[in-house]
Structure 1
Amino acid sequence: MRSTPRSWTVLASWSLSLVLIFLAAAPAQALDSSNVEEVTLSNGVRVLLWPDDTIPNLAVYTFWKVGSRNEAPGITGLAHFFEHMMFNGSEHFPPGEFDRTMEAAGGSNNAYTSANVTVYQDWVPASALEITLDLEADRIRALSVDPELVESERGVVMSERRRSVEDDNHSLMWEQLMSSAYMAHPYQWPVIGWRSDIENWRQQDVEDFHRTWYAVNNALFVICGAYDRDELIGLLEEKIGSIEAREVGRDVVTVEPEQRGERRVELRKEAQMGSVLVGWHVPETAHEDIRVLELADLILSSGESSRLYRRLVDQDQIALWAWGDTDNNFDPGLYQMLVQSREGVDGTTIEAALYEEIDRMKNEPVTDDELQKAKNMLVAGFYRDMATISGRANQLGSFEIFHGDWRKLFDVVGTYESIQAEDIQRVLSTWLTAQNRTVVTLIPTQDTEAGNAR
């Protein structure tokens, strides 16, 4: 699942002091790490619990440590495929019954797959706790991988790939970026998988992948909301703790070699306007430089007062918008910048202005106002997530998975506050260099020329 541009600009004009005054009125449990409890079930499965009886609801998140990075050529896309299959029937709940049963109990669900994890999300009334754990346990213990279901879902995934990647120019650009920026690491293939692999998965490939990665001990459970602790732990032990642990597949050991020169791709496809997508290699999510980069990205690309909007959209009038982001990653990833050109503007013009603005941030400290505004946006966005049980479950699990310790979640505001202008200069100068970048340019063509990349 791709990240979407941040929507934190709504609070951009707030001062940090006003944000913190607002938060002081929030329930103390929303900010207190002592409320979080870590439980280890008899089979070794770890569960994070965070009580909140403000409303009688629960958020139940299951983080599976499997994504497209755990695949190989020939079986790309299987992690995402199992995001679909996990809703398609198990021993006691036939196809379609997972959703029907949960909805009948007043709940809903969703899931997403990334290069690193697959996450299942259940939002239910507190009264639906037991049936929710029954549903989760049954698809862990006895998921159906019936060949007819596999073939049916293969067709669904093929349609999804056509719609979300092959018919979407920016998704195609992103696919070209990843496959060009990485020469060794498995981040190079798309989460949804290559078309030829999807078409040729064997039944044995599907079963082997499930057996290898969907061992219950490869999951982290996070539950936030209204519950009776003793009842919850008893049910967890009965439903989840009784599932036998087994050996999990070997983790990724491949390290991407240092990039020593700019790489370029031209994507020629039917389009009204061109676009430029640039990716720079950056450290893994747990690295301290990523927090600095998050601040720098907001100053560069978030909202109409950002540097790139003012330069590319308002001043030079060569672009419609610019967006930057970096995903959560176990291993070193990419900081990506996508610029949508105005009609008739070529990629060279976009790149020149983009690199000038980045170099200006390297050479001249950002202003105090810019830095404080970016901190306000990050802090406000963080606390908006923490205001809901769903946001807390997602944040808690993400910090445990990607930062190695859920407790670091409660240090993040202080980390952002400690960042100085010179830190931004250092991080941009270290990582956003010409030899460390890969550039994908979308060149609009007539239909007869569409579909070529070089």
Structure 2
Amino acid sequence: KGTSTIGTKDYAKEKAAMAKVDSIFALIRKEKLKRARADTALIHRLEKAMQKAQEEADRYVDHDAFDRIIEQAGGVGMNAMTSQDATRYFYSLPSNKIELWMYLESGRFRDPVLREFFREKNVVLEEYRLGKNNPIRRIVEDVAAMAYKAHPYGRPVIGFKSDIEMITRSQALDFFKKHYTANNLTVAIVGDVDPKQARALAQKYFGRLPAGPEPEPVITVEPKQEGERRFTLEAPAQPFVIMTFHRPSVNHPDDPVFSVMEDILGRGRTSRLYRSLVKDKKIAVQASVFSGLTGDKYPGLITFYAFPAKDHTNQECEKAILDEIERIKSEPVTEEELQKAKDRARVDLVREMQSNQGLAMTLAYYQVITGDWRNLFRDLDAMQRVTAEDVQRVARTYLTRQNRTVGYLQPPSSESAN
């Protein structure tokens, strides 16, 4: 939402009004934390007072000022996203606006103002509610929570309702100061730019940022899963079966093998899962497999799923998926399947490079998650060396009963309704 100079009409007055909003919310928070003993009438009065204070603060806000500057400079595609591993901000600008980009973005990190904080918090709460009304999103969160008992990958990115409701502006700012530092920041610039000029501008503008502490690694290691975990989520929705297995991180030597195996099993209409469940047996309308459900930097999950066809069940689809898993364990994949997977990986890389934004995001991902953007090309080379024996070995090692978690999404039964 800008800085102390961008996005405000009178920052001194806005800051004073925001402080009043914060102080009222602190009283609301204190009362709500009493839980059952909370004075609801007092909370209602305080919420009305907070609304008035927020309206006062809004009088001094120049709404969307930051966005307007970008748009007037020819910027497009401004957006942001957060995963378990990283938060990304991105947009495209004409190449002659690179100094403007450096000035604006370094300013947001150097001098952040979390204006309209509580309005934005309500936006996040609405997103949370929409997620809870989405059965697929709910079962995905549930399967991650069941698969992970210790590692943070088991927690949803958006967090939990009570945490969102109770977070304060000062807590958010403390989090920002801890994590949004120069030592934890990676910039990827792709386009018609002079590298020497870009480095000089980065030093001029981003060099103003305090280095901050080194990012803390996640030291918690998920204990080995020693038995199948299984659950059912009942909701008025199309049946769905999801099955996950723990797998190593993208930095593990077996990662290219997983990429090849997933391509053979689950990519497109010629994949083994699609041919078996959808075309031949006609028990599913969709079936596939992928990695990255939770994250990539630390040991993650390989995920199989299927949507049963009409008059067919989750149980049938689960059995068919397991049959294909057993087949890839017992029978080596063909040379034709291997070569197709490797060829598609090369094509994917070329496609990613066709747009500046796609290439920038890919390079930034590899730099942050693997430690070196060059691993993008090393991984492609490693995929070319994967053998049928490698695929069989990885399937036998990781796709085991003890290592899997299975979730069913199904309509409520009459028994559960009663």
Deviations for 1:128-161, whole angstroms, at most 9, x for unmatched residues?
1111111101110111124xx2210111011112
Q: Are the aligned partners of 1:280 and 1:438 in contact in 2 as well (CA < 8 Å)?
A: yes
Deviations for 1:26-65, whole angstroms, at most 9, x for unmatched residues?
xxxxxxxxxxxxxxxxxxxxxxxxxxxxxxxxxxxxxxxx
Deviation at 1:383, TM superposition (A): 1.4
Gaps of 5+ in 2: 8-62
Q: Are the aligned partners of 1:324 and 1:336 in contact in 2 as well (CA < 8 Å)?
A: yes
Of 322, 326, 329, the residue aligned with 1:359 is 326
Distance 1:195 1:319 in 2: 34
Distance 1:91 1:338 in 2: 48
Q: Are the aligned partners of 1:270 and 1:449 in contact in 2 as well (CA < 8 Å)?
A: no
Q: Are the aligned partners of 2:266 and 2:289 in contact in 1 as well (CA < 8 Å)?
A: yes
Deviation at 1:223, TM superposition (A): 1.1
Distance 2:178 2:142 in 1: 29
Greater Cα radius of gyration, structure 1 or 2: 2
In terms of fraction of residues, the more helix-rich structure is 2
Distance 2:252 2:217 in 1: 19
Matches within 5 A, 1:46-445: 88-94=1-7, 95-108=63-76, 109-146=78-115, 149-163=116-130, 165-248=131-214, 250-271=216-237, 273-327=238-292, 328-445=295-412
Q: 1:447 to 1:98 in 2, by over 3 A?
A: farther
Deviation at 1:207, TM superposition (A): 2.0
RMSD: 1.9
Gaps of 5+ in 1: 1-87
SS in 2 for 1:413: helix
SS in 1 for 2:66: helix
Q: Are the aligned partners of 1:274 and 1:345 in contact in 2 as well (CA < 8 Å)?
A: no
SS in 1 for 2:235: strand
In terms of fraction of residues, the more strand-rich structure is 1
Deviations for 1:317-341, whole angstroms, at most 9, x for unmatched residues?
1110012211252210011112111
Q: Are the aligned partners of 2:85 and 2:369 in contact in 1 as well (CA < 8 Å)?
A: no
Q: Are the aligned partners of 1:276 and 1:340 in contact in 2 as well (CA < 8 Å)?
A: yes
Deviation at 1:173, TM superposition (A): 0.8
Distance 1:250 1:415 in 2: 29
SS in 2 for 1:183: coil
Deviation at 1:289, TM superposition (A): 1.2
Q: 1:353 to 1:151 in 2, by over 3 A?
A: same
Deviation at 1:445, TM superposition (A): 2.1
Deviation at 1:449, TM superposition (A): 6.0
SS in 2 for 1:336: strand
After TM superposition, the score normalised by the length of structure 2 is: 0.82
Deviation at 1:391, TM superposition (A): 2.3
Deviations for 1:153-203, whole angstroms, at most 9, x for unmatched residues?
11101111222x212211111000111000001111101111222122133
Deviations for 1:351-375, whole angstroms, at most 9, x for unmatched residues?
1110000110111011111111111
Correspondence for 2:51: none
Deviation at 1:409, TM superposition (A): 2.1
After TM superposition, the score normalised by the length of structure 1 is: 0.76
Deviation at 1:307, TM superposition (A): 0.7
Distance 1:93 1:364 in 2: 63
The residue type paired with residue 373 of structure 1 is K
User: Larger relative CO (CA 8 A, sep 6+): 1 or 2?
Assistant: 1
Q: Across the two proteins, how many residue pairs are aligned to each other?
A: 360
Identify which range, 439-448 or 380-389, moves more after superposition: 439-448
SS in 2 for 1:145: coil
Q: 1:133 to 1:446 in 2, by over 3 A?
A: farther
SS in 1 for 2:246: strand
